[in-house]
Amino acid sequence: MRRTIPLVITFLIGLYPIFAFFVPHGSISGANDWLDSALVIVAAFALPLGTVNVVMTNTTKLKRKSRGWQYSIVLLAGLTVMAFYGLVGGTGVHPSFQWMFVNMVSPLQATMFALLSFYVASAAYRAFRARNVEATILLIAAIIVMMGRIPFGDMMTRGMMTPLSEWIMSIPNAAAQRGIIIGAALGAASMSIRIILGIETTYLGTGKD
Partner 1 sequence: MKTPLLFILAAAAVVLASQAPAPAVLAGEIQGLRAFDSPGDGGESVTLEWEGGPSTLVSIMRSESSGGPFEEVGTTIGTDGAYEDYVEEGRPYYYRLSYRIGDQDYVTAPVGPVAARSNWFRSYRLNALVLAVLMFSLVIYYINAAKRGKDLYIRRISGISAIDEAVGRATEMGKKIIYIPGIMSISDIQTIASLSILSHVAKQTAVYGADIEVPNKDPLTFTAARETVKQAYMEAGRPDQFREDMVTYITYDQFAYAAAVSGKMVRERPATNFLIGYFFAESLILAETGQSTGAIQIAGTAAPTQLPFFVTTCDYTLMGEELYAASAYLSKEPILLGSIKAQDIAKALIIVTILVGIVAYFFGSTVIRNLLASR
Partner 2 sequence: MNARKLLYVDRRVIYLLVAIGALVPIIRPIGLPTVPTKPVQQLFNKIESLGPDDTVIISFDYGPSSEPELNPMAQSILRHCFQRRVKVLVMALFPLGGVNMAIDQLQAVADEFDDINYGVDFVNLGYKDGAQAAMKRMDISIESLFPADVNGDPTKDMPIMAHARNYDDIAVVISLATGIIGEYWVNLVNAQFGVPVAVGCTAVSAPKYYAYLRAGQMMSLLGGLKGGSEYEKLLVDKYEFARELYEQPEIKITSAMAGMDVQSIVHVIIIVFIIFGNTMYFIMKRQEKAR
Q: What is the largest CA-CA distance in the chain?
A: 72
Q: How many residues bind partner 2 (CB under 8 A)?
A: 49
What does the alpha-carbon distance between residue 15 and residue 196 come to, in Å, rounded to a whole number?
7
End-to-end CA separation in angstroms for the chain: 20
- Residue 206 binds partner 1, judged by CB under 8 A: yes
- Residue 45 binds partner 2, judged by CB under 8 A: no
Q: Residue from 4, 27, 117, 132 that binds partner 2 (CB under 8 A)?
A: 117
- Residue 195 binds partner 2, judged by CB under 8 A: no
Could you give the 3-state DSSP secondary structure of residue 67? coil
CB 139 within 8 A of CB 129: yes
Q: What angle do CA 45, 50, 56 make, to 5 degrees?
A: 130
Could you give the 3-state DSSP secondary structure of residue 53? helix
Q: How many residues bind partner 1 (CB under 8 A)?
A: 65
Q: Give the residue with the Cβ less far from partner 1, 71 or 152.
A: 71
Could you give the 3-state DSSP secondary structure of residue 198? coil
Q: Residue 173 CB, nearest distance to partner 1 (Å)?
A: 10
With CB under 5 to 8 Å by kind, the binding choice for 205 among partner 1, partner 2, none is partner 1
> Where does this chain touch partner 1 (CB under 8 A) — which range of 65-73, 146-154, 155-163, 164-172?
65-73
- Residue 104 binds partner 1, judged by CB under 8 A: no
Q: What CA dihedral angle connects 134, 135, 139 and 144, to 10 degrees?
A: 10
Residues 152-181 that bind partner 1 (CB under 8 A): 177, 180-181
Q: Give the residue with the Cβ less far from partner 2, 12 or 130.
A: 130
Alpha helix positions (H), the chain: 4-22, 26-64, 69-88, 95-100, 106-127, 133-148, 151-157, 161-168, 174-196
Q: Give the residue with the Cβ less far from partner 2, 174 or 189.
A: 174
What does the alpha-carbon distance between residue 47 and residue 6 come to, in Å, rounded to a whole number?
22
> Where does this chain touch partner 1 (CB under 8 A) — which range of 16-24, 93-101, 144-152, 154-162?
16-24
Q: Which residues bind partner 2 (CB under 8 A)?
A: 33, 36-37, 40, 101-102, 105-107, 109-110, 112-114, 116-118, 120-122, 124-126, 128-131, 139, 142-143, 146-147, 149-152, 154-155, 159, 162, 166, 169-171, 173-174, 177-178, 181
